[in-house]
A and B are shown apart, each in its own frame.
Chain A
Amino acid sequence: MSAALKQRDNDSAGTDDEFELTGDTEAQPFELQPVVPDSAGDSQVQTEFFLPEHNPEEPDASPQIEFEGMPRPAYAVQLDDGRQAVFRNAHTLLESLEAQDIDVHYQCREGYCGSCRTQLLEGSVHYHDEPMAYLDDDEILPCCCIPKSDLKIKL
């Protein structure tokens, strides 16, 4: 097995294509060699931005088995300022809004900081896990909920 593991020296976060197997280095197997960045600007790229790299509203490549005769639900999300979005495939309401160019303030994205606190005017949502941030009765945290019905919200 003669393969050299090449690793990029700029730490683009966590994708498989950071490692390339090449078969051309018979003489020095298993030696780590840094790959020259593709473009000069690469070293300036800020990493640790763990926002979804794909569009969260695109359907999954390998979706869960769907029941025949039960189409995947789509919920209309109406903002008080007139903007509209449709929730279809995203994992959370926040991801869905971001994918549709609606900016929401956020920090932790897992329900403990409360930065994305949003007023729910109509509709209801479901939480995968009960969030820790303080919420009034009419408030939701888009970072950890999905719609259960069409929504009307106020950012």
Chain B
Amino acid sequence: MAYTTFNRNEFDTFKQPMFFGENVNVARYDIQKHKIFESLIEKQLSFFWRPEEVDLTNDRKDYIDLPEHEKHIFISNLKYQTLLDSVQGRSPNIALLPVVSLPELETWIETWSFSETIHSRSYTHIVRNIVPNPAEIFDDITKNEYIVRRAISVTKYYDDFIQLSNYYQQLGEGTHSINGETIEVSMHELKRRLYLTMVSVNVLEAIRFYVSFACSFAFAERAKMEGNAKIIKLIARDEALHLTGTQHMLQIMAKGKDDPEFAQIASECRDDVVKIFAEAAQQEKDWAEYLFKDGSMIGLNKDILCQYVEYIANQRITALGFEQIFPTIKNNPLPWINAWLNSDNVQVAPQEAEISSYLVGAIDSEVDTADLGDFDL
């Protein structure tokens, strides 16, 4: 029902479900119903970074030297990443905050979205550094038919849920007539759309992002665009955490831990979940076709990327307690990606090595006059 920014009803905060209970009031974290969200917030805060801390001057040079078809791969991939984070930087807030009922989950959603805005800012940082006119790239995101096609599938579930949720907040449950249209608002349908939205978010974070990471790291594997890869590595670290958050929410729902109706919805929606995963995998394969339309790059081509899509889709759907959807794929076709995805978890004195955990000036672009000492003119 109508959202209130400070709920004055008397209720037991810790008996609320994650969503569709009482609106939250006191932002308190002394006791938590689901401790995991507090841990996620702390972890995410400890990951804080700023894109400007990664030096991209060498990337500009690398980019200019790339052959045309590799420029297409790099830029298209970047556009896609920009689209994904544009969606994720706002949608969890708009869709989930009005219906959330636990303070620690509310804060996790805000922290999660905020970190996505850092990712969006870092794409601008990358684009600004490698091309003279960033507008060309950003403007194409809403015009390019391949990107638009993905935007529709990425946002469909969010939009369906937000639409119904808005009616629910204004009018409550029941059958309503608005502008001659009959709108049916039921709690069951709201929860069903919310569950499917979470599944689609999981697909976005768990499959779509990882396919784009593979492309970014394939350049760095050849010692090209390494600054970009450092930024993507930081983004991948955040995304791994968001993915864990979403998996927890989905599993809490599916197990009916705090709202038995969600357990029922989750079992009704099992086929839909498989369908969402399978569709996303197909879309990623179509995207691979577009990326490599003018030629492959060393270390990555359409077939390998498609195999990676299947591999990662298997990994992610089994994490939710489903069967693999591509049983023929057993091994990771891009074994080197593990090392790129791995966060810097070994402590090294920052002056000993240039590592991205010590971010400032992470790439050595310094040229000393002594370096040119043996030049003769």
With A11-B364, A112-B43, A133-B247 as given contacts, are A106 and B353 in contact (CB-CB < 8 Å)? no
- Mark interface residues in A125-146 (1 if CB within 8 Å of B CB, else 0): 0000000111010000000000
Partner-contacting stretch, out of B68-76, B160-168, B338-346: B338-346
Indicate whether B348 reaches chain A with its CB closer than 8 angstroms: yes
Interface of B is mostly: helix
Set B332, B345, B371: member contacting A110, Cβ < 8 A: B345
Question: In the bound complex, how far is the Cα of B241 from the Cα of A112, in angstroms?
Answer: 6
Indicate whether A107 reaches chain B with its CB closer than 8 angstroms: yes
Set B248, B251, B321, B343: member contacting A108, Cβ < 8 A: B343
Contact B342 A11, beta carbon cutoff 8 Å = no
B67, chain A: closest CB distance, angstroms: 19
Contact A48 B355, beta carbon cutoff 8 Å = yes
With A103-B335, A133-B244 as given contacts, are A109 and B345 in contact (CB-CB < 8 Å)? yes
Interface size for A (C-beta < 8 A) is 34
Question: In the bound complex, how far is the Cα of B321 from the Cα of A15, in angstroms?
Answer: 42
Indicate whether A114 reaches chain B with its CB closer than 8 angstroms: yes
Interface size for B (C-beta < 8 A) is 41
Question: In the bound complex, how far is the Cα of B76 from the Cα of A138, in angstroms?
Answer: 41
B80, chain A: closest CB distance, angstroms: 21
B96, chain A: closest CB distance, angstroms: 18
With A12-B353, A113-B241, A115-B315 as given contacts, are A134 and B342 in contact (CB-CB < 8 Å)? no
Set A14, A46, A49, A112: member contacting B240, Cβ < 8 A: A112
Residues of B within 8 A of A105 (CB): 315, 332, 338
Indicate whether A62 reaches chain B with its CB closer than 8 angstroms: no
Contact B315 A106, beta carbon cutoff 8 Å = no
- Mark interface residues in A1-25 (1 if CB within 8 Å of B CB, else 0): 0000000010111110011000000
B227, chain A: closest CB distance, angstroms: 13
Residues of A within 8 A of B371 (CB): 34
Q: Which residue of B lies closest to A131 (CB)?
A: B244
Contact A48 B243, beta carbon cutoff 8 Å = no
Set B40, B236, B319, B354: member contacting A114, Cβ < 8 A: B319
With A105-B315, A133-B244, A134-B248 as given contacts, are A13 and B237 in contact (CB-CB < 8 Å)? no
Question: In the bound complex, how far is the Cα of B331 from the Cα of A7, in angstroms?
Answer: 40
Indicate whether A40 reaches chain B with its CB closer than 8 angstroms: no
Q: Which residue of A lies closest to B321 (CB)?
A: A136
Question: In the bound complex, how far is the Cα of B336 from the Cα of A4, in angstroms?
Answer: 37
Contact A18 B353, beta carbon cutoff 8 Å = yes
Contact A14 B315, beta carbon cutoff 8 Å = no
Residues of A within 8 A of B355 (CB): 11, 13-14, 47-48
Sample of 15 more A-B contacts, CB < 8 Å, known A50-B345, A109-B343:
A14-B349, A18-B352, A18-B353, A19-B352, A33-B370, A49-B339, A106-B338, A108-B342, A108-B345, A110-B343, A113-B241, A114-B244, A115-B341, A132-B39, A134-B251
Which 8 A/B pairs are nearest by Cβ-Cβ distance? A14-B348, A113-B240, A50-B346, A107-B341, A11-B354, A134-B247, A13-B353, A49-B339
Name A residues whose Cβ lies closer than 8 Å to a Cβ of B. 9, 11-15, 18-19, 33-34, 43-44, 46-51, 103, 105-110, 112-115, 117, 132-134, 136
Report 7 cross-chain contacts, Cβ distance below 8 Å, ordered by A residue: A15-B352, A44-B223, A51-B342, A103-B335, A108-B237, A115-B341, A132-B43
